[in-house]
Structure 1
Amino acid sequence: MADQEQTPVFQIQRMYLKDLSLEQPNSPQILTEQQPPQVEINLGVSAETITDGIYEVCVTATVTTKIADKTLFLVEAKQAGIFEIRNIPQDQLQAIIGIACPGMVYPYLRAIISDICTRAGFPPVMLAEVNFQAMYEAQQQQLAAQGNGGDVA
């Protein structure tokens, strides 16, 4: 029985859309513009402990599309997952929460962004693949430079 208690556990408990927003502040006038839009995409990852061994990991995307200085549309979506992670060393736990979990959540977020743009009457915005390991390592380096221990969970 003691061996079972020490067995590493990594399970997806649930994936869900936590927040979704679409704004078209300059419609319908801007829809007649013929210029190609400029698209800006910002991504963020956050994690929090729900209870012992249970973590919520959120990946947020904000897509801002402008023609000249006017917003064509703005989409913000937050996709989340709840993960059970137990009996993992702390240094590995942080990497799992910062790399593996966002990597599992992100495909759902990509689909939602593409779908909401299409449903709003625009061509789909296809979010590029993301190297969450590089993102995590850059975050850890930044935290180390600030003198913080870099705890994710």
Structure 2
Amino acid sequence: MEEQPKKADDGTTPEQFGVQNVYIKDISFETPNSPQIFMESWKPQLEMEISNDINTLQDDIYEVVLNLTVTVKVGEKTAFLVEVHQAGIFALKGFAKEKLSYMLNSYCPNILFPYIRETISSLVTRGGFQPFFLAPVNFDALYNQRLQQQKQEKEGEKITIN
């Protein structure tokens, strides 16, 4: 039984969503202090940076790129640095502006995360380190935080000091 497409928030066009492709756009793994780092007492400190980019490819077709950089240090020495840009091509049609923004900035990165998580884990293991598993990321919370920041910035622009 096929599910009927839901009407968009404005009631006109049905919402349609599809994943057309998932792929690695860029990948990098560095161990700048090897082999000495393998002799160090293993008390790693983790730094993680996450972001995403959205590119409109054509009407209703978008590329979403989830960018993740993980740096692990032991003391002042970098044990490894891994950077992955995991991308997907998504078809999104019939979404109201606010919901489209949510889909591209939260829903799509959520779909890409398991792929980037597995890629990073595999790279770290192949680099000679213990298995490394990223904790889940709450993309809804990150999206809402970004909306709050944008709202505060707009409110700050309205206040003028003479």
- TM-score normalised by length of structure 2: 0.84
Gaps of 5+ in 1: 149-153
CA displacement, residues 47-100 of structure 1 (integer Å, 9 cap, x when unaligned)? 121211111111111111111111111001111111000111111111111111
In 1, distance between residues paired with 2:127 and 2:136? Answer: 23
**CA distance in 2: counterparts of 1:35 and 1:118, whole angstroms:** 15
State how 1:89-100 maps to structure 2 within 5 Å: 89-100=96-107
Tell me the distance in 2 between the aligned counterparts of 1:131 and 1:11: 21
- Equivalent residue for 1:33, pick from 37, 40, 58: 40
1:88 and 2:95 matched: yes
Q: Decide which of 78, 81, 84 is 1:77's aligned counterpart.
A: 84
In the alignment, structure 1 residue 122 sits paired with structure 2 residue 129: yes
Instruction: For 1:51 and 1:144, locate their aligned partners in 2 and report how far apart those are by CA, in whole Å.
Output: 29
Q: Give the match for residue 160 of structure 2.
A: none
Q: 1:107 aligns with which of 110, 114, 117?
A: 114
Runs of 5+ unmatched residues, structure 2: 1-6, 156-162
* Matched residue SS, 2:154: coil
Residue identity in the other structure for 2:50: L
Residue 41 of structure 1 deviates from its aligned partner by: 1.7
Structure whose alpha-carbon radius of gyration is higher: 2
Distance 2:81 2:140 in 1: 27
Distance 1:92 1:83 in 2: 14
For residues 6 and 74 of structure 1, the distance between their equivalents in structure 2, rounded to whole angstroms, comes to 45
Give the SS at the match of 2:103: helix
2-side partners of 1:13 and 1:27: how far apart? 39
Q: What CA RMSD, in Å, does the superposition of the two structures yield over aligned residues?
A: 1.7
Q: Which residue of 2 aligns with 1:140?
A: 147
Q: Name the residue aligned to 2:63.
A: 56
Offset at residue 46 of structure 1 (A): 2.0
Alignment correspondent of 1:18: 25
- Deviation for aligned residue 1:121: 0.8
What letter matches 2:31 in structure 1?
Q
Distance 1:39 1:116 in 2: 16
Q: Which TM-score applies when normalising by structure 1?
A: 0.88
Distance in 2, Cα, partners of 1:17 & 1:62? 14
Q: For residues 110 and 42 of structure 2, what CA distance do their matches in structure 1 show?
A: 35
Indicate which of 46, 60, 63 corresponds to 2:53.
46
